[in-house]
Chains A and B, each alone.
Chain A
Amino acid sequence: MSMLPQADKDSHYAVNVPAPDDFTFWRDAARVLVQCRVPPDQIAWGEPGSTGDLFAAGDQPLPLPPANAPMVRASKPFIQAAEAAICHSDPARFALLYRLLWRLQGNRNLLDDRTDNDVRRLDELARSVRRDKHKMRAFVRFRAMEDADGQERYVAWFEPEHHILRSNAAFFVNRFSNMRWSILTPRGSLHWDGEVLGEGPPAERGDAPDGDPAEDLWRRYYASIFNPARLKIGAMLKEMPRKYWKNMPESALIPELVAGAQAREAAMVEAGALEFEERPATLPAIDRAIHGCRKCPIGELDNQAVMGEGPPNATLMIVGEQPGDQEDRQGRPFVGPAGQVFDAHMQRAGIDRGTVYVTNAVKHFKFVDRGKRRLHQTPTAKEIDICRWWIESERHIVQPRLILAMGASAARGMLGKTVSVSKARGVPHVLEDGAELWITAHPSYLLRLDGPAREEQERMFQADLQAVAERLAEMTG
């Protein structure tokens, strides 16, 4: 377009911007028009392919500004916002930008006034373009294919809302510089060969490849990484509007993930939650509750729960592993052969069993049936952890200041982790409520030994009890 030597005061101008995102062209034309003092309502801006020329006069060549025309002023925030806003698909954007540039000449701080409607619209356009650019960086999904020369090329189909393809190219070049790739859109296409960026014509969806083996992996990842216990669909839709879904391989899964979430959460809860109610407030209440407890498989066996016994305000609590055959039949702790060994050592240490609260880490007897005999089975870590609810309930009520755990299972019931008895015995461990925990072997272990080994273990067991007796004397002093 050529320029006429003078600006006609009442002329109308139709300016066609050659490409929808051509900021440089718009800026040059706008500068001339401002210098010639052509008011906004005398210009019709359009882009190629746009319809309805307001002034129908065709291309009126731009005027030539007078020699003494003042500098056109545009603040930096305006230029930045305008560069973004020009990529918007709103046909009125060129006129809006010109109107703002025109008004800026009279008020250089105009852009600071976000209560002004033109300023607000500029901000909206710029933000929506930035968002579209950002979403393109996020939601483009490349698929691997082979070029004619046998080399790998990554091709994506994307449908941007605005004219952002060109201004977004540098991001992809910088990120994927060692790949060959193409991004195809209905507004044009980009091709990178590792060295040169090329622009191509608008494309159609069918031009892009269809699937990629990595998509199965990606979908499986997408389905696994979300937590069905915390469905927040609104938050998802806000950031990933549905208009982008159709070109993202993972989004096809969303309906079934949402539909299945509740069932998945229910399953998680069922597999996990144990539905213990409030802690019982008294020892008899615990006694009743454990008789009904089936939280672990041991409770399903043919047995009865065995409650701890002793003064409900005892200073010393002694914890064994679980009831044995005798205890199960009699419904009382420490009455079988191990209980007798235990009693004998207690006497020697000078501890009156009547002053001690004696109980077990696991409340039911775990065994396998061998005809006439029921063979003791060690509870698993998980079973101990489940039953820990009950021993903790007892501790809450009795509040012993000293606890002696006999054997690894009992120690686990107190600590929540497995420790080695041989390493942990003989020294106090302070529990979170301030109680002191001592650890020793289980008396039934002594029963399984003979000869010098047994003598040695008996001595150590006795020493541990002695230490506890002394500590108890100190405490009750």
Chain B
Amino acid sequence: MKSSIIDRLAILADAAKYDASCASSGTAKRNSKDSGGKGIGSTEGMGICHAYAPDGRCISLLKVLLTNHCIFDCHYCINRASSNVVRARFTPQEVADLTLSFYRRNYIEGLFLSSGIVKSSNHTMEQLVEVARILREEHDFRGYIHLKTIPDADAELVHQAGLYADRVSINVELPTDAGLARLAPDKNTGRIEGAMGEVKEHIAQNRDETKRFRHAPRFAPAGQSTQMIVGADAASDADIVGKANRLYDGFGLRRVYYSAFSPIPDASAVLPLKRPPLMREHRLYQSDWLMRFYDYSAAEVMQATGADGMLPLDIDPKLAWALKFRDRFPVNVNRAGREALLRVPGLGVRAVNQLIAARRQRTLRLEDVGKLTVSIAKVRPFIVTADWRPTLLTDRADLKSLVAPPAEEQLELFAA
């Protein structure tokens, strides 16, 4: 007998919990009032996180698998063919109903649907597309849809998926080809990147079409993303940053997500025994920010790594870079250009913008800078103000311990 919806939801959500991607932002704005009030849903450009889980990650979408049956045998994956997890599957109608039921109660922004591969790649992809079709066509659903595309599915199916979905993604899984060959023997870098290239083409073509015909349907307006597992193979942070950079450049990806390898039940012996520190994943995200918002090149981020190619865990990559290139400091906050200010550890984009606006009105003193940053102690050794100049502080051997804060304190959740 088929088990109840709630039991299957538990299995198919549990199986989806290793996927790091959750964003529901950056898509076209639309709402159900515009559609004459017949449909449901809206997207605002900025996604909304409707809840946070105890792992600190946001819940903005119903993230489930259509099924966790799979004919592939990827070693890091709990759903691989040779694993003996409990299997379950939803029908497309069931997923659509669940999405609407949650959406109407304002639990979610939409759906993030992925799947194990059943029968064939095309069969599986057809089922995913069918869920999106029911939502968009039968219910005029205007919320967010993210579809995972299945490796080796027909380009035509992927195209259909992109016409219904806000975002499509295909995971590169491992940062190196050797890692992929070893841990995902049924997958292949060339085919994964080929699929990304096709999606990139579709997006570019569609941008052309929407320019010429205003009502042409939008193809994946929130672009494509991918995910890499960190710590399951021997790839260093430098390898990972390099790979991410090639993906951003080559395929115009919106986001590369990192997922620290977690121990999975029923793991295979070729996996490492220990999970990497979560801090490693965090440092990779920070380096991603440096590239996307602070104008660091991938090569510069790699300069922040140690001899082993790893980013330091105890300090953030921006500080690590600054400590290596001390001759670039101190920076005069009353005169320096934006790019130089953005390199100062402890000054974020917001603070830099505010500094630049404020200094048009007055000459900034250390106290003024202090009002714009979280920790003046961290910033002080790297800047010059009207009343402050770090005397050779940037040459001190113990600079790192001076500016690196002690390990973050865990908030006590259940203290009275």
Q: Tell me the A residues contacting B by CB distance below 8 Å.
A: 107, 109, 112-115, 120, 134, 137-144, 154, 156, 171, 173-179, 194-195, 212, 214, 216-218, 220-237, 239-240, 248, 250-251, 254-255, 257-258, 261, 265, 267-269, 271-276, 295, 380-382, 385-389, 392, 415-418, 432
Task: List the A residue with the shortest CB-CB distance to B15.
Answer: A224
A261 pairs with B54, CB closer than 8 A: yes
A273 pairs with B82, CB closer than 8 A: no
Residues of A within 8 A of B48 (CB): 134, 137-138
A268 pairs with B265, CB closer than 8 A: yes
Task: List the A residue with the shortest CB-CB distance to B362.
Answer: A113
A178 pairs with B81, CB closer than 8 A: no
A305 to B55, CA, bound (A): 43
Q: 18 A-B residue contacts at CB 8 Å? A: A134-B48, A154-B105, A179-B40, A223-B10, A224-B14, A227-B17, A228-B54, A231-B56, A233-B410, A239-B52, A265-B263, A273-B273, A380-B82, A382-B83, A386-B269, A417-B73, A432-B178, A432-B182
B360 pairs with A109, CB closer than 8 A: yes
Residues of A within 8 A of B105 (CB): 141-144, 154, 212, 214, 218
Q: Min CB distance, A16 to chain B, in Å?
A: 34
Residues of B within 8 A of A385 (CB): 75, 82, 268-270
Q: Which of B346-378 contact A (CB under 8 A)?
A: 354, 357-358, 360-362, 364, 368, 371-372
Q: Is B275 an interface residue (CB 8 A)?
A: yes
Residues of B within 8 A of A142 (CB): 104-106
A418 to B105, CA, bound (A): 46
Q: Which of B65-102 contact A (CB under 8 A)?
A: 73, 75, 81-84, 98, 101-102
Q: Tell me the B residues contacting A by CB distance below 8 Å.
A: 5-6, 9-11, 13-14, 16-18, 31-35, 37-42, 44, 48-59, 62-64, 73, 75, 81-84, 98, 101-102, 104-107, 178, 181-183, 185-186, 260, 262-270, 273, 275, 278, 354, 357-358, 360-362, 364, 368, 371-372, 408, 410-411, 413-414
A416 to B271, CA, bound (A): 12
B413 pairs with A237, CB closer than 8 A: yes
Given the interface contacts A114-B358, A231-B54, A417-B73, does A224 sit within 8 Å of B17 by beta carbon? yes
B267 pairs with A274, CB closer than 8 A: yes
A176 pairs with B358, CB closer than 8 A: no
Q: Min CB distance, B4 to chain A, in Å?
A: 10
- In the A-B complex, the 3 residue pairs with the smallest Cβ-Cβ separation, listed nearest first, are A235-B56, A232-B56, A226-B53
Task: List the A residue with the shortest CB-CB distance to B102.
Answer: A218
Residues of B within 8 A of A234 (CB): 56, 408, 410-411
Q: Min CB distance, A13 to chain B, in Å?
A: 31
6 more A-B residue pairs beyond the given contacts A112-B360, A272-B265, A392-B270, with a C-beta to C-beta distance below 8 A? A176-B32, A227-B17, A230-B278, A232-B54, A274-B267, A382-B84
A156 to B106, CA, bound (A): 10
Task: List the B residue with the shortest CB-CB distance to A237.
Answer: B411
B31 pairs with A175, CB closer than 8 A: yes
Q: Min CB distance, B366 to chain A, in Å?
A: 11
Q: Min CB distance, B335 to chain A, in Å?
A: 17
A175 pairs with B82, CB closer than 8 A: no
B32 pairs with A115, CB closer than 8 A: no
Q: Min CB distance, B63 to chain A, in Å?
A: 6
B82 pairs with A115, CB closer than 8 A: no
Q: Min CB distance, A238 to chain B, in Å?
A: 8
Residues of A within 8 A of B411 (CB): 233-234, 237
When the two chains form the complex, which single residue of A154, A216, A272 contacts B104, counting CB atoms closer than 8 Å? Answer: A154
Task: List the B residue with the shortest CB-CB distance to A382.
Answer: B82
Task: List the B residue with the shortest CB-CB distance to A430.
Answer: B181
Task: Tell which of B42, B55, B98 has the most Cβ of chain A within 10 Å.
Answer: B55
Residues of A within 8 A of B53 (CB): 222, 225-226, 236, 257
A225 pairs with B17, CB closer than 8 A: yes
Please classify the interface of chain B as helix (H, G, I), strand (E, B), loop, or mixed, using the class held by over half of its residues: loop
Given the interface contacts A109-B360, A226-B57, A230-B260, does A115 sit within 8 Å of B371 by beta carbon? yes
Task: List the A residue with the shortest CB-CB distance to B50.
Answer: A138
Q: Min CB distance, A360 to chain B, in Å?
A: 16
Q: Min CB distance, B145 to chain A, in Å?
A: 15
Please classify the interface of chain A as helix (H, G, I), strand (E, B), loop, or mixed, using the class held by over half of its residues: helix
Q: Min CB distance, A280 to chain B, in Å?
A: 14
B357 pairs with A114, CB closer than 8 A: yes
A175 to B83, CA, bound (A): 42
A416 pairs with B357, CB closer than 8 A: no
Residues of A within 8 A of B14 (CB): 224-225
When the two chains form the complex, which single residue of B5, B42, B54, B183 contacts A258, counting CB atoms closer than 8 Å? Answer: B54
Residues of A within 8 A of B39 (CB): 177-178
B73 pairs with A381, CB closer than 8 A: yes
B62 pairs with A221, CB closer than 8 A: yes
A221 to B57, CA, bound (A): 14
B52 pairs with A178, CB closer than 8 A: no
Q: Min CB distance, B111 to chain A, in Å?
A: 12
Residues of A within 8 A of B372 (CB): 114-115
When the two chains form the complex, which single residue of B16, B106, B357 contacts A225, counting CB atoms closer than 8 Å? Answer: B16
Q: Min CB distance, B277 to chain A, in Å?
A: 11
Q: Min CB distance, A461 to chain B, in Å?
A: 25
Given the interface contacts A142-B105, A228-B55, A273-B273, does A115 sit within 8 Å of B368 by beta carbon? yes
A176 pairs with B73, CB closer than 8 A: no
Residues of B within 8 A of A381 (CB): 73, 81-82
B40 pairs with A176, CB closer than 8 A: yes
A221 to B139, CA, bound (A): 23
B185 pairs with A226, CB closer than 8 A: no
Residues of A within 8 A of B83 (CB): 382
Q: Min CB distance, A300 to chain B, in Å?
A: 17
Task: Tell which of A107, A140, A229 has the most Cβ of chain B within 10 Å.
Answer: A229
Residues of A within 8 A of B106 (CB): 140-142, 156, 176
Task: Tell which of A173, A217, A231, A295 has the most Cβ of chain B within 10 Å.
Answer: A217
Q: Min CB distance, B210 to chain A, in Å?
A: 22
Residues of B within 8 A of A134 (CB): 48
B266 pairs with A272, CB closer than 8 A: yes
A258 to B56, CA, bound (A): 11
A220 pairs with B6, CB closer than 8 A: yes
Q: Min CB distance, A434 to chain B, in Å?
A: 10
A217 to B62, CA, bound (A): 11
Task: List the A residue with the shortest CB-CB distance to B370.
Answer: A115
Given the interface contacts A217-B9, A233-B56, does A177 sit within 8 Å of B50 by beta carbon? no
A275 pairs with B6, CB closer than 8 A: no
B52 pairs with A236, CB closer than 8 A: yes
Q: Min CB distance, A220 to chain B, in Å?
A: 5
Residues of B within 8 A of A143 (CB): 105
Given the interface contacts A109-B360, A138-B50, A176-B104, does A416 sit within 8 Å of B185 by beta carbon? yes
Task: List the A residue with the shortest CB-CB distance to B265.
Answer: A271
A174 to B40, CA, bound (A): 9
Residues of A within 8 A of B364 (CB): 115
B413 pairs with A222, CB closer than 8 A: no
Given the interface contacts A143-B105, A214-B102, does A236 sit within 8 Å of B54 by beta carbon? yes
A377 to B188, CA, bound (A): 33
A293 to B232, CA, bound (A): 23
Residues of B within 8 A of A268 (CB): 262-265
Residues of A within 8 A of B278 (CB): 230, 232
Task: Tell which of B63, B105, B410 has the most Cβ of chain A within 10 Å.
Answer: B105
A217 pairs with B101, CB closer than 8 A: yes
A231 pairs with B17, CB closer than 8 A: no
Residues of B within 8 A of A229 (CB): 262-263, 275
Task: List the A residue with the shortest CB-CB distance to B268.
Answer: A385
B358 pairs with A221, CB closer than 8 A: no
Given the interface contacts A177-B37, A274-B273, does A112 sit within 8 Å of B357 by beta carbon? yes
